[in-house]
Amino acid sequence: MQDPNEDTEWNEILRDFGILPPKEEPKDEIEEMVLRLQKEAMVKPYETMTLAQLKEAEDEFDEEDMRAIEIYREKRLQEWKALKKKQKFGELREISGNQYVNEVTNAEKDVWVIIHLYRSSIPMCLLVNQHLSLLARKFPETKFVKAIVNSCIQHYHDNCLPTIFVYKNGQIEGKFIGIIECGGINLKLEELEWKLAEVGAIQTDLEENPKKDIVDMMVSSIRNTSIHDDGNSSNSDNDT
């Protein structure tokens, strides 16, 4: 098969008639290398270094670079601190009743704390623990803890479990008590995520309530039932 990029009179004719595509121009490797080096030169060497590498290379920079490095180093340090602070949790931790005040009520300032009071003999509690464990990894800036209810509250009724309290700065900002408030026995992970996001404890990427269709269906059913009952009532009045 003939090379379409070959310099022949026949290929030129075919190109003129649009039968062959335009000839590919060979890439200038030297020009490409120059452009790449120019692009790399626009990036200061210290902008690609770690804090440790900056420390080792201090003698290689002039006074102007050193001033810029100090600003850059401080920026990187603040970013690192912010990241560490944001990712300080990341797991669902077990606590006991005597840790409740320190771990929950007196938690760090402006930190959201979600605590689940549970009993392992209740299946719904195990489901909630499973979901909270996944959410703790997804939202490491929020503190997730769980505690066996008897270690915190004596004689707590089973029909109040699972119980989820949401704290911030020592105040209860949200609470879900019992199976219904927690979302029902078929609770999905996204549904619990939405509930906690509505309180403000986490910043979800969900755009709408996962149960929206079910809620809409229930509202529609209630509305239709109400209209039907009103209609029957009117008919009864007319009959009398």
> Which of 154, 144, 164, 145 is CA-nearest to residue 95?
145
3-class DSSP state of 167: strand
Q: How far apart are CA 91 and CA 135, in angstroms?
A: 8
Long-range own/partner contacts, residues 126-134 (CB < 8 A, 24 or more apart): 127/185, 127/187, 128/162, 128/164, 128/182, 128/187, 128/192, 129/92, 131/187, 131/189, 131/192, 132/92, 132/192, 133/91, 133/92, 134/189
Inter-residue contact 43 to 27 (CB < 8 Å): no
Instruction: Give this prediction's pTM.
Output: 0.58
- Look up residue 173 and give its two tokens: 């900002």
Q: How far apart are CA 105 and CA 168, in angstroms?
A: 8
Q: pLDDT tens digits, the chain, 240 residues: what are they?
A: 556 566 677 767 777 767 777 766 655 666 676 666 656 554 455 566 666 766 666 666 667 666 776 777 788 777 777 766 666 799 999 999 999 999 999 999 999 999 999 999 999 999 999 999 999 999 999 999 999 999 999 999 999 999 999 999 999 999 999 999 999 999 999 999 999 999 999 999 998 998 765 554 544 555 556 555 555 555 555 555
